[in-house]
A and B are shown apart, each in its own frame.
Chain A
Amino acid sequence: MNVQVSRRGLLKGIGVGLAGGSLGALGFGALEPAMAASVRPFKLAQMKETRNTCPYCSVACGIILYSLGDRSKNAKSSVMHVEGDPDHPVNRGTLCPKGSSLLDFIKSETRTKYPMHRTAGSSEFKRVSWDFALDRIATLLKEDRDKNFIAKNGDLTVNRWTTVGFLGASATSNETAWVTYKVIRSMGALTFDNQARV
């Protein structure tokens, strides 16, 4: 860590007032108030840059999300630009046309942001809680597995479950992918693919 101890900060700390640094020493001390006055009406604009991974395919390009607004205050922050991450070893700042259009993906009105549920016979989706969604998925999976699980093919033990499929997400980490594989395969599911191939 190499933060410089500002001489003025130090002097201020010990209660000594002095015209500032090089500016004052070279006889330009009077310019400082002019500089301060010229920027006084301006407001500091805050911007954030956040690293993320493109969700489209298995290449998993690094991206930088540029957002305006301060997350800690009441202001609502919004992503205003998406760009390739120049430090990412996979894409070195480049993006394909799909990746370049990620901003529209984020801003899309039809983007799914919450678990949604359409009951049988109904024509519209309703927002539900994660608890409801996960319970519902688990119940349906269990029902289907109890009904369709194939333990034996003749004398041979096969333990297969072919009536349910699973699609993994493409931007998962190695560890998430490992856990996903273990969970799905250990239930016997054979139909298993990844968004990365889509």
Chain B
Amino acid sequence: MARLFRRGGPPPEAAAETTPGDAPARTFADIQPDPDRIGIFGSVPFVRLPAPARLFSERARRLKTLASGHPLEGYLDLLARIATAQADVVAQRAAVGERAVVPPAEDVALRTDNGMPPLSRSLLSDDPSFLASLDRLLAVIDLSSATEAAQFARDALRAAPSDERLELAVQVFEGAFLVERMAECVFVAAALQVFLAEQAAALDEKTLKPVAEGVCPCCGGAPTASLVVGWTPADKARYLSCSLCGTLWNHVRIRCTACGSGEGISYYGLDEASKDVQVETCTSCNSYLKHLHQHRDPALDPVADDVASYGLDLKIAEEGFRRAGLNLLFVF
């Protein structure tokens, strides 16, 4: 019989090697219901931890694709260079065998039991690899064709003393951007994303618990965008993408990500520009978040497509909605 869906277990050629005579006789009681085989699961996974080895290189590729001919071409190109540098840092760290210093299991348990995310800003000073990553990032980033402002910010950051850079990183972690150092914040945020993605990837997803409405269960970060995904165990479920560590966590659809209200939710989009990028607006708290239909276009990336759909931000602001998410590489 033809199989219309993928099944678990050995591939057909492996199964063919065992002759039918070898198979132990199965009684009716042995046969268990196995609903997983048709791709339907009893519950969707609560989190999907980031894979730093792919995350940044795929983002760089997406940014490059989006950049050509876009009104924000210059900025998207700069972000593509930053994402490439992020991917390079991850690759370099992997090559020399450097791993994230994971907080001990009892610390993680204590924090999650008390409703706190396991990763905190104190890791930045506890783990010297953050500053090392920032140094590497600033060294490998290719800003040869970038604006003077970007080169100036990179040079200023390289010249800054360690404690000042650490201080800036803590500010970015907390979502408090210094107006006069906005440009430097972008590079610090890029290094922070690399550091936290590695930290989050090392966590055990079974230990994670929901923290609060629209707050990342790994690091407490704000979401960048909401994704309707198309993975097998969670088809068309909605996941929020963390602005800091890149973790995806499940959030019920048609429910405001900022205030949790299910009333007055609408979706707006510019159909002429893209049907796959919308904003989810809430009239209870007058906020909005980008809503990406990744199940229709798997190439959509929360950070890259949030920047590329800036026109939608401008349009929706005219309707009186405020932005609920945070894109560390694109603060406005």
Contacts and interface: CB of A to CB of B under 8 A. Distances in A.
B266 A47 contact: yes
A28 interface: yes
A123 interface: no
Contacts of A18: 179
A31 B182 contact: no
A6 B323 contact: yes
Contact of A6 (B222, B238, B319, B332): B332
B331 interface: yes
A2 B258 contact: yes
Interface in A8-47: 8-9, 18, 20-28, 31, 34-39, 42-47
B14 to A, nearest CB: 30
Interface residues of B, number: 66
Contacts of A22: 182-183, 185-186, 329-332
A61 interface: no
Interface residues of A toward B: which range? 35 or more
Given A44-B316, A86-B44, A92-B41, A25 B311 contact: no
A136 interface: no
Interface in B244-259: 252-254, 258-259
Contacts, number: 158
B259 A1 contact: yes
Contact of A39 (B237, B259, B314, B332): B314
A6 B175 CA distance: 11
B330 to A, nearest CB: 5
Interface stretch (B68-76, B101-109, B158-166, B198-206): B68-76
A189 B258 CA distance: 50
B311 A26 contact: no
Interface string B27-44: 000000000000011111
Contact of B148 (A3, A27, A44): A27
Contacts of A45: 268-271
B285 interface: yes
A43 B186 CA distance: 32
Given A3-B287, A7-B331, A39-B312, A26 B75 contact: yes
B186 A3 contact: no
B153 interface: yes
A34 B70 CA distance: 10
A62 to B, nearest CB: 10
B10 to A, nearest CB: 27
Contacts of B175: 4
Given A27-B150, A39-B270, A49-B267, A64 B253 contact: yes
B325 A39 contact: no
Contacts of B185: 22
Contacts of B78: 26, 28
B325 A4 contact: yes
Given A1-B259, A25-B183, A31 B75 contact: yes
Given A7-B331, A26-B150, A86 B311 contact: no
B215 interface: yes
Interface of B: 40-44, 71-75, 78, 147-150, 153, 175, 177, 179, 182-183, 185-186, 213-215, 222, 234-238, 252-254, 258-259, 262, 265-273, 278, 285, 287, 310-312, 314-316, 319, 322-326, 329-332
Given A6-B332, A27-B150, A34-B71, 10 more contacts: A6-B323, A23-B72, A23-B332, A31-B75, A37-B71, A39-B312, A44-B268, A44-B269, A47-B269, A85-B253
Interface of A: 1-4, 6-9, 18, 20-28, 31, 34-39, 42-51, 64, 70, 83, 85-87, 89, 92-94
18 contacts: A1-B213, A1-B258, A4-B322, A4-B324, A8-B332, A22-B185, A27-B148, A28-B78, A34-B72, A42-B272, A44-B269, A45-B271, A47-B278, A83-B236, A86-B234, A86-B236, A86-B253, A92-B40
